[in-house]
Amino acid sequence: MVGFLSAANTMKLVKKAVPALGIIFLLSGCNGTSGTTDNDIGRASEPAAPLQKVSRYVGTPSHEIPFVYTAKKQFALTFNGMADRETMTKLLDELDRYQIKATFFLPGMRVAEEPDIAKDILKRGHEIENNTLSQPDLNKLDYQGVYKEIKLTNDVIKRETGVQPKYIRTRSGSYPADLPLIAAQLGMKGVVSYNINPKDRDMQSAEELGHYIGRYISRGGIISLNTDINPEVIKTIPYISRYAKDIGYQPVTLDQMVSDGGFRKPVEEIPGYQPVHATSDYQNASYKLIEKVDTDRKEIALTFDDFGSDKTITQILDILEAHNVKATFFLRAKGVESNPNLARAMVEGGHDVANHTYEHTVLTKMTPAAIQEDIVKAHEVIANAIQEQPVMLFRPPTGAIDDERAKAIAAVGYPNIAMYDVTTLDWDASNSADDIVNGVMTQTQKGSIILLHMLDDIHTIEALPRVLENLEAKGYTFVKMQELIDQNP
């Protein structure tokens, strides 16, 4: 069984922790103030120091970190709470066995109770951060109550381990709007939540927990598990290690990932995010449907549509890198919004990214006004993800387009509508890798634009290396679609 802090030990910890700060606040209540009573104070510290008033911070708040913005193949495995010594030792031994460095968000009360466990976490190369004093609901505390909860925890951890916490996370991951201000006031880097939560509170098996993490593991992802709720968490470590190795991802501590990564600028500060806008005056707009490019050179453009999981897209990027091929990715922006790091990884790999709408609705089923709204939203989402202007090509979902809607798209700022002349319907899982390879090879010619997809559970990844090898053997060279257009006006 995993262990919990007993109620009998609570006031012992009050007596131990309060003198460190010279304040009477310690246990958090639910009425917006400190939860200690006069009797508690008397038992904890004689005589009690007066409660110190905390002024509201007016500077820049700390970063809010649900994930880390990075194209590196890194993720952070994080734990909330501190279980009993036996459980924590087993967990740490398992992390050692698979050479995983993790981040532990520890409650200050538990660190005060068993500092040797916290010291062992550090000794093994892991990171310790602030999980509040006793894991209360901070949304029920006022500004001063939250400040004291975080401040006291920082001081307890510092006193017992010598480490000053840089990040704060609540047990649930939710927090009041003032917490980033308070974190900044205390000199902390950020308020951390997570974007991968297997919900081990529901007592799933290790296999279920591991499968969930493997499905959603991502660049810059923050996995949240608990040390003191579900003992199956320990048995989940081998699954995490295996899934990470399958796609070449490295678990690192949270602070290392933040240091290696960065933070996104607001979209309005990104050069080039504004060249698109909706307009009702589109009837005379001119556009060009580009299915292939006339050229005497054996140059072709490889393009991918839609969006997929980290595992699928990373495999595509790795295959392209191995063949030194640059492609153009037409992104469904709703997918980009949930995983901007993947879009950034494409750009850092030397590829182009372009607009494939936000919702991926067939345009002939939409009004021109709705199309323009969708395209503008998609452009901003993609620009925000890659922190630069995407290449100004637009591809309609399913390739369905008519004259009126093409004019509406051009008027938005996308006069070049990117079509294709080579398609194998690879989005249909019933089409095998052989079908995809044969379809590409029989249709491709000079100036062709090849359409493939980056969806999960289809055969494109299996076919892609063969497609590249066979086309290269026939003397074709790959260029990005915009380059193909520019070189052959």
Gap between the Cα atoms of 488 and 293, Å rounded = 7
Gap between the Cα atoms of 321 and 382, Å rounded = 22
At 174-193, the pLDDT tens digits run 999 999 999 999 999 999 99
Gap between the Cα atoms of 428 and 436, Å rounded = 10
Q: Do 196 and 243 contact (CB within 8 A), yes or no? A: no
pLDDT of 48 above 50: no
Q: What does the pLDDT read at residue 83? A: 97
Q: Could you tell me the pLDDT band of residue 201, with boundaries at 50, 70 and 90?
A: confident
pLDDT of 204 above 70: yes
Q: What does the pLDDT read at residue 191? A: 98
Buried-state track 344-362, b at ≥16 Cβ within 10 A, e below 16: bbbbebebbbbbbbbebee
Determine whether 305 is an active site residue: yes
Catalytic residue among 305, 310, 352, 374: 305
Write phi, then psi, for 63 (nearest 5 degrees): -65, 145
At 316-361, the pLDDT tens digits run 999 999 999 999 999 999 999 999 999 999 999 999 999 999 999 9
At 385-412, the pLDDT tens digits run 999 999 999 999 999 999 999 999 999 9
Q: Could you tell me the pLDDT band of residue 5, with boundaries at 50, 70 and 90?
A: very low
Q: What is the domain class of 269-487 according to CATH?
A: alpha beta
* pLDDT, averaged across the chain: 90
pLDDT of 486 above 60: yes
Q: For helices 143-161 and 10-21, what crossing angle results, to 10°?
A: 90
Mean pLDDT over 208-231 rounds to: 95
Catalytic residue among 351, 379, 453, 459: 453
Mean pLDDT over 28-53 rounds to: 42
- What stretch(es) of the chain map to CATH 3.20.20.370? 7-260, 269-487
State the SS3 of 339-399.
Answer: CHHHHHHHHHCCCEEEECCCCCCCHHHCCHHHHHHHHHHHHHHHHHHHCCCCCCCECCHHH
Domain 7-260 CATH assignment equals 3.20.20.370: yes
Q: Do 343 and 331 contact (CB within 8 A), yes or no? A: yes
Q: Do 40 and 11 contact (CB within 8 A), yes or no? A: yes
